[in-house]
A and B are shown apart, each in its own frame.
Chain A
């Protein structure tokens, strides 16, 4: 079955470390997205990619980086420059003209 997979489900990071969150989709969707969700709040866009080797900043890109070397993969790196990284991170993909399909999320905690 086609879908979008995020890993790991839970991730713990020490202060000052970079960590990378994985997002893989086999839906043949062109566009992929990363969102951040804080407790009790909605989704805020971090980065998005419309096509391989191209990506754009969203509303809260500072302290994050992404790459899109393959259509299926859109990893997100949370760098040490992100001062408040503890959050729930959601990856999504989209076929043009349709809604998003979301992954099951990664909960990142700074310890």
Chain B
């Protein structure tokens, strides 16, 4: 069965970087894309970045582009999201999801990231 296991909670200071991971299992990793979604406390879901795990193509939201890097490691069936120059407003829960013909049909459990001095 399709499953995603995300890395654990992170606490970072403003200006630092954070890298969260999403390990996939139960399907052909190369055949799908994965995207990341963020939810700040009390806020709506915010789409952030996308990567096709087969060809490495990427897309980023305009809001975070420049600070975001999404990568995939096909040998480890894992996708990573790195966010640089962290600000307090980057605090939230980060979710990965499989992109199946446009829809997010399977989601990770979420990784809480706290940015605080």
Partners in one complex: no
